[in-house]
Structure 1
Amino acid sequence: MESHGDIRTSALKNPVDLAEYLFRRIHELGVRGVHGVPGDYNLVALDYIPKVGLNWVGNCNELNAGYAADGYARVKGVGAIVTTFGVGELSIVNAQAGAYSEFVPVIHIVGTPSTISQRDGMLLHHTLGNGDFNVFANMFSQISVAVARLNDPYEAAAQVDYVLQQCMIKGRPVYITLPTDMVQKKVEGERLKTPIDVRIPKNNPDVEDYVVGVILKYLHAAKNPTILVDACAIRHGVLDEVHELVEKTKLPTFVAPMGKGAVDETLPNYGGVGDASLQGIKEAVESSDLVLSIGAIKSDFNTSGFSYQISQLSTIDFHSTFIKVKYSEYPGIHMKGVLRKVVSCIDLGKINVQPTPPVSNTIPEAERTSRDQTITQAWLWPRLGQWLEADDVGEFPKNVIAISQVLWGSIGYTVGAAQGAALAAKELGNRRVILFIGDGSFQLTCQEVSTMIRHGLKPVIFVLCNDGYTIERLIHGMNASYNDIQPWHYKDLIPAFGGSPANSKTFQIRTRNELDNLLGDKEFSAAKYLQFVELYTPKRDAPAALKLVAERAAETNEKVE
């Protein structure tokens, strides 16, 4: 006699294993590389990854894997990672919190003990020993836009679809638990014939039209309007609308540090990064009588320590869940539809366009004429800017994707992120990927270079060797021992990680002439294999913008009531 469960399973039109269903849905969203670390609670689930056309990356640790999935998502649109219960998933908390704070869609799948073990409160390894199997999921619920505990095969497929939809629409991480006894449970495969609807819900047309009318009224009346673009314009998929607005209006356009790469920097009306250390930009933005602020994240580091003084009375804020026109807020209205309609309805004859401050990426005269061979920050970055090319993943000619973690600011983030970005770039056609990282940050997560070698990735890695944590020195403790690090022979890590002359090259650069020669080498610029540059700069030197941010951070830290 069939059990009740057998009857329910036999009623399925097209039964598929739950793990297969989950990974096929992830493949549908565009993911091809799944990051993570194996553990005994996720091993059977991992067998399904190659079966559905996905590739297992396999990272050195879960934290790095989380950073990598984040970097991958910023290039491909979404990332995925698999960890194991307790010890594995807790190692990724920092990375997932960073993705949550910076609006990066990452799908986190956790292999957990069986539903029976959880029901009985068994004393298992990787637990706290108290029978509580919900504690870690409860932690992640604070840094996830949706949580799915796949404990019931009759609800699991719908849960998967919902949580993945939320990940894509809201642009933030989600958390999925997959118990060992659920991996091979059957779910309805017929659902796979209907793609998950990840379109942004349309705005109420009446409200949208009203908001657009208000925006156009102020825009047409403004004497000196400007556009300021930030990270959430990237994260929430409105770059097409932003580009149309920028090109059609010819208004002076700036980007915040987190929005770097959102605007074509070859456009004549591009004014640069909204960095308060550059007085011309600061004055241009603050003197505007109307700032169209698109996707702003107004954190301390993203505003150079809150140094901007832009009145809300002069600002129209475009966001994914509301529009704010001066002090009037319109909730439930997504910026995509509003921007599209503003672009189509704008009267160019009523737009007052002021000159855009010129953007300079030249080496300062004093640095250019100096005979000193020291690689200073003031000389280095304009020189590297001249070397960068369109379509790079780094910075910042046309079509460059910029990846940084300005808001969350986790030290060591960029090594893992570069691995994920390089994998995504390889999937998209081998775009050049360039990593700039300080020696202190590199020491935290350097193992992921071995993952790059393992997968034949070809980033160009510049490790800036300046003897420690520069940003920390600038904030407090310039000569304090806690800001020092042990000097490494950095380039020697490449052969130690399995690199060979056939798949990698290393360089040590101490002078300007050496760097000029390297950047002028066509083979180096072609980036046909992993290249690692150990580049030495002075210990106390830093870019002007970094000095200002550190100064503001120190002032904020020292404030008392």
Structure 2
Amino acid sequence: MSEVTLGRYLFERLHQLQVDTIFGLPGDFNLSLLDKVYEVPNMRWAGNANELNAAYAADGYSRIKGLACLVTTFGVGELSALNGVGGAYAEHVGLLHVVGVPSIASQAKQLLLHHTLGNGDFTVFHRMSNNISQTTAFLSDITSAPSEIDRCIREAYVYQRPVYVGLPANLVDLKVPADRLQTPIDLSLKRNDPEAQEEVVNNVLTLIQQASNPIILVDACASRHSCKKEVEKLVNLTQFPVFTTPMGKSAIAESHPRFGGVYVGSLSQDDVKKSVESADFVLSIGALLSDFNTGSFTYSYKTKNIVEFHSDYTKIRQATFPGVQMKEALQQLISEVSTHLNPNYVPVPVPSVNLPVTPASPDTILTQEYLWSKVSSWFQEGDIIVTETGTSAFGIVQSRFPNNTIGISQVLWGSIGFTVGATVGAAMAAQEIDPKKRVILFVGDGSLQLTVQEISTLCKWECNNTYLYVLNNDGYTIERLIHGMNATYNDIQPWNNLDILPLFNAKEYETLTVKTTGELDSLFKNKKFAIPNKIRMIEIMLPRMDAPSNLVAQAKLSEKVNLEN
């Protein structure tokens, strides 16, 4: 082909980066564009239930594959997606948001079209997206459109943030040179300034050489910006104890002999808290220091010798080095660190991450503490584990992940219902990588009600690698713990949750109810249940005010912060 349509060019570029599922909904301004999805071999249109869910699904897909594409229509469609796009921006998730907009001629004439505000302003929604986008493009010239598409894809991938592309309906079928597709998009990071990086590395090496009780603390952006290998190499070379935050869980293999657990400020296990806070040097990698990620900002380091490596800057004590990106800086640090270790440093034992399971008779009513201490025994290497904001996100901290596990949660943005859509995206990504890779969702009965329609997309695409654990504790328990224990605004209408899969016409499925410790133990020992060959929904019945102990403590801290003047 000497030429291709602009619409096909877009999807061919995405296909080159293994983005083979496109999320979104049809609308009259994007229909011609959607035709082009089917022209690219092995690419599929997910066809989500609504735009918000589609944005959540794209977020989950991107966390597995590094990039995702969301397509919506002008105005009504794109605005419905913005909560999900905002979450992707906050949590560093690469996402290309393509919006089908009215033709250039319609815009020029300021026609009073449907989906507009009726004032002739066709750029207002673009401007709304600007603050939650790494960059934006509102295409108007077919000659420059391919280079703009390439630029936007690169920015979304490299910076792991959403990017907005407004694509007029009349440009979609116009032809552009096909030979441009022969040159891959350059996805390499801009090189750090050599002198600034040298200064950073030298300062860090000096602190390492002086440290007798150092630790490494890994957070979410180490995963988002592809630094997990660098983290592992650094731990292997230094033998420093390594800890994660809740958001950073799965950024380092929890089977690593130097892994010491999850640090959440004052909410940490006592031995983890002591190990981290007594350190004389803290090497922080990819931190996102939000309230729920830090135990409401209760970090209590005893040292000022703190180095923070971030995706776009580095901080050493009180000095900030803008533009010194962590990946390249870590690679140089790794190449030199072995000769700069403190000769008197002796690796200390790390806290045990194997939390004891309190024995219980088989007919004992199931509790959160038992569930989260027991579930580790059922996880398998390579699982994708998705935990909803609320009891699940706090409970999962108590579990231990096997090797090559990917954890998905939304601790910073915290939009309830996010995980149902994210599970769809993760499951479709897993289908493309390895159909036997299990995707496991833990979601509360309240959160489920916000986005339940998206389970129909799982059924449509027969994502039989999916386990849906619904924690039924009769409403919004996390909210009850923060405020309004008996308030009716924290109640929900009870659903027959196990009727959801047949309602959405699932083909291969299984539904189960678990009420006691004995039933849970039997389920986790069932070898057939562990095989991902059907969509499964498991309703876990729990007492109304039962919650993981760290969530109870966090709720008290959150209520205190909310009431401060």
1:107 aligned partner? 96
2:539 aligned partner? 534
Q: TM-score, normalised by structure 2?
A: 0.94
Question: Number of residues paired by the alignment?
Answer: 544
AA at the equivalent of 1:315 = I
- What is the Cα deviation at residue 150 of structure 1? 1.4
1:4 aligned partner? none
Q: 1:310 aligns with which of 294, 301, 316?
A: 301
CA distance in 1, matches of 2:56, 2:215: 34
Q: Is the 8 A contact 1:225 1:353 kept in 2?
A: no
Q: Secondary structure at the match of 1:409?
A: coil
Provide closer, same or farther for how the CA distance between residues 253 and 79 of structure 1 changes in structure 2, counting only shifts above 3 A. same
1:40 aligned partner? 28
2:133 aligned partner? 144
Instruction: Verify: 1:30 aligned to 2:23, yes or no.
Output: no
- What is the Cα deviation at residue 372 of structure 1? 5.7
Instruction: Verify: 1:75 aligned to 2:67, yes or no.
Output: no
- What is the Cα deviation at residue 455 of structure 1? 0.3
Question: Percent identity among equivalent residues?
Answer: 46
1:10 aligned partner? none
CA distance in 1, matches of 2:37, 2:57: 18
CA distance in 2, matches of 1:461, 1:404: 15
CA distance in 2, matches of 1:340, 1:491: 49
Q: Secondary structure at the match of 1:153?
A: coil
AA at the equivalent of 2:313 = F
- What is the Cα deviation at residue 49 of structure 1? 0.4
Q: 2:482 aligns with which of 475, 478, 491?
A: 475
- Spell out, residue by residue over 1:318-363, the C-alpha distance to the aligned partner (whole angstroms, 9 max, x if none): 0111111111111111111111111121136526244243333334
1:519 aligned partner? 524
Q: 2:203 aligns with which of 214, 233, 258?
A: 214
CA distance in 2, matches of 1:436, 1:347: 42
Q: Is the 8 A contact 1:140 1:175 kept in 2?
A: yes
Q: TM-score, normalised by structure 1?
A: 0.95
Provide closer, same or farther for how the CA distance between residues 353 and 175 of structure 1 changes in structure 2, counting only shifts above 3 A. farther
- Spell out, residue by residue over 1:439-461, the C-alpha distance to the aligned partner (whole angstroms, 9 max, x if none): 00001101111100110102111
Q: Secondary structure at the match of 2:275?
A: helix
Q: Is the 8 A contact 1:436 1:461 kept in 2?
A: yes
Q: 1:465 aligns with which of 472, 478, 481?
A: 472
Q: 2:239 aligns with which of 247, 250, 253?
A: 250
Q: Secondary structure at the match of 1:91?
A: helix
CA distance in 1, matches of 2:354, 2:272: 14
1:189 aligned partner? 178
Instruction: Verify: 1:270 aligned to 2:259, yes or no.
Output: yes
AA at the equivalent of 1:508 = T
Aligned 1:259-408 pairs, distance under 5 A = 259-275=248-264, 276-277=266-267, 278-310=269-301, 313-347=304-338, 350=342, 352-364=345-357, 367-369=358-360, 373-394=364-385, 396-408=401-413
AA at the equivalent of 1:125 = H
- Spell out, residue by residue over 1:30-60, the C-alpha distance to the aligned partner (whole angstroms, 9 max, x if none): 2010011111111111010021121100000
Runs of 5+ unmatched residues, structure 2: 386-399
1:6 aligned partner? none
AA at the equivalent of 2:221 = C
2:394 aligned partner? none
1:18 aligned partner? 6
Q: Secondary structure at the match of 2:304?
A: helix
- Spell out, residue by residue over 1:499-534, the C-alpha distance to the aligned partner (whole angstroms, 9 max, x if none): 24xx11110111111111111111111121111101
Moved more, 413-422 or 313-322: 313-322
Q: 1:441 aligns with which of 447, 451, 461?
A: 447
Aligned 1:51-70 pairs, distance under 5 A = 51-53=39-41, 54-70=43-59
CA distance in 2, matches of 1:311, 1:318: 19
- What is the Cα deviation at residue 370 of structure 1? 5.3
CA distance in 2, matches of 1:119, 1:312: 61
CA distance in 2, matches of 1:329, 1:493: 52
CA distance in 1, matches of 2:369, 2:293: 21
1:504 aligned partner? 509
Moved more, 350-359 or 233-242: 350-359
CA distance in 2, matches of 1:507, 1:144: 42
Moved more, 93-102 or 235-244: 235-244
- What is the Cα deviation at residue 180 of structure 1? 0.9
AA at the equivalent of 1:491 = L
